[in-house]
Amino acid sequence: MKQTNSKINIQEKLETYLSEFEIQYTETIKNSNNIKKLELLIEDYSAFILNQQYQLAYLVWPDIQKKDMLTQKLANISAKCVKQMEMIRAQRLLEGRASSSNYFENIEHCINEEFGQFKVTAKDKLLLIGSGAYPMTLIQFAKSTGAEVIGIDIDEAAVNLGKRVARTLAPEAKIHITNQKVEQLADLHTVTHIIFSSTVPIKYDILDQLYELTNDRVVISMRYGNHFKALFNYPTKPTDAQKWTCLNEQIRDNQIFDIAIYQKALVEVGVGDV
């Protein structure tokens, strides 16, 4: 039987998720064989994020202070858990023990719609910021478009695993993964498309920095989650209107993150593409 909003205790639900994530994260760090429970928890949490009854209960929950505090804590711990899950998934693949989970299927399904009208072609070059240990986005873009793709990640272990996973799953594709920062990338001005992983905490600081470093036609896909989805993603922030214009926001009811497309301010959309 469905619970009505008045019967849902959203605070209790969020506090339970928080303590479950903390327990399962610690258990998985202690021993990677404990990953199954964490995977199930992430799958359950993904379904929770897409549940409209809970979305509504969260929306009308009046205790803003508690809501903000729990939202931030859950966004942080769930990002750490997804990263951990990617690491173990990568290690399993490299040991010949492939595994799957609905979380990844959800992410992997979204990939081809990402840029809307600004489709990636074989002539383009794509950069993913926060490529992770299991760089599915890069692999799918490289394989389906033939484009050259670059992934950057601040975590050395994620970079090493990401390189090996890419070599295993897409040996022919043009995939380059590095732990360089955007300002260290020699060919950044030739990049045509950039994706920000949703769980990069400083993604809007990097976007601001990219204005000076990129060419004028570059298209940015910012993955994010606002309101209820901010429990599993970092939200949007206002940008400097002199620098970046948000052209389009794709709010996706059945996906755990949404997408905002940015281009440089003053670039005339669809005119004189270079």
Ligand X SMILES: C[S@@+](CC[C@H](N)C(=O)[O-])C[C@H]1O[C@@H](n2cnc3c(N)ncnc32)[C@H](O)[C@@H]1O
The contact set with ligand X (CB under 6 A) reads 82-83, 86, 107, 129-130, 132, 134-137, 152-155, 158, 197, 199-202
Sign of the C-alpha dihedral, residues 219, 223, 225, 230? negative
CA distance 177 to 166: 9
CA distance 234 to 223: 8
Residue among 40, 33, 11, 35 nearest 25 (CA): 35
Whether residue 118 contacts residue 147, with contact meaning beta carbons closer than 8 Å, is answered with no
CA distance 163 to 249: 31
Q: How far is the CB of 174 from ligand X (least distance, A)?
A: 17
Q: How far is the CB of 13 from ligand X (least distance, A)?
A: 24
If the CB atoms of residues 201 and 242 are measured against ligand X, the closer one turns out to be 201
Q: How far is the CB of 53 from ligand X (least distance, A)?
A: 28
3-state secondary structure of 5: helix
If the CB atoms of residues 58 and 134 are measured against ligand X, the closer one turns out to be 134
Q: How far is the CB of 128 from ligand X (least distance, A)?
A: 7
Q: How far is the CB of 5 from ligand X (least distance, A)?
A: 32
If the CB atoms of residues 8 and 127 are measured against ligand X, the closer one turns out to be 127
The phi and psi torsions of 231 (rounded to 5 degrees) equal -70, -15
3-state secondary structure of 164: helix
CA distance 28 to 201: 23
If the CB atoms of residues 57 and 161 are measured against ligand X, the closer one turns out to be 161
CA distance 234 to 196: 11
Q: How far is the CB of 195 from ligand X (least distance, A)?
A: 7
CA distance 106 to 86: 14
3-state secondary structure of 42: helix
Residue-wise over 90-107: b if at least 16 C-beta within 10 A, else e? Answer: bbebeeeeeeebebbebb
If the CB atoms of residues 53 and 178 are measured against ligand X, the closer one turns out to be 178
Whether residue 67 contacts residue 61, with contact meaning beta carbons closer than 8 Å, is answered with yes
Q: How far is the CB of 154 from ligand X (least distance, A)?
A: 4
If the CB atoms of residues 42 and 70 are measured against ligand X, the closer one turns out to be 42
Q: Which amino acid is at 127?
A: L
If the CB atoms of residues 10 and 169 are measured against ligand X, the closer one turns out to be 169
Q: How far is the CB of 234 from ligand X (least distance, A)?
A: 10
If the CB atoms of residues 71 and 137 are measured against ligand X, the closer one turns out to be 137
Q: Tell me the residue nearest to ligand X as measured from the CB.
A: 130
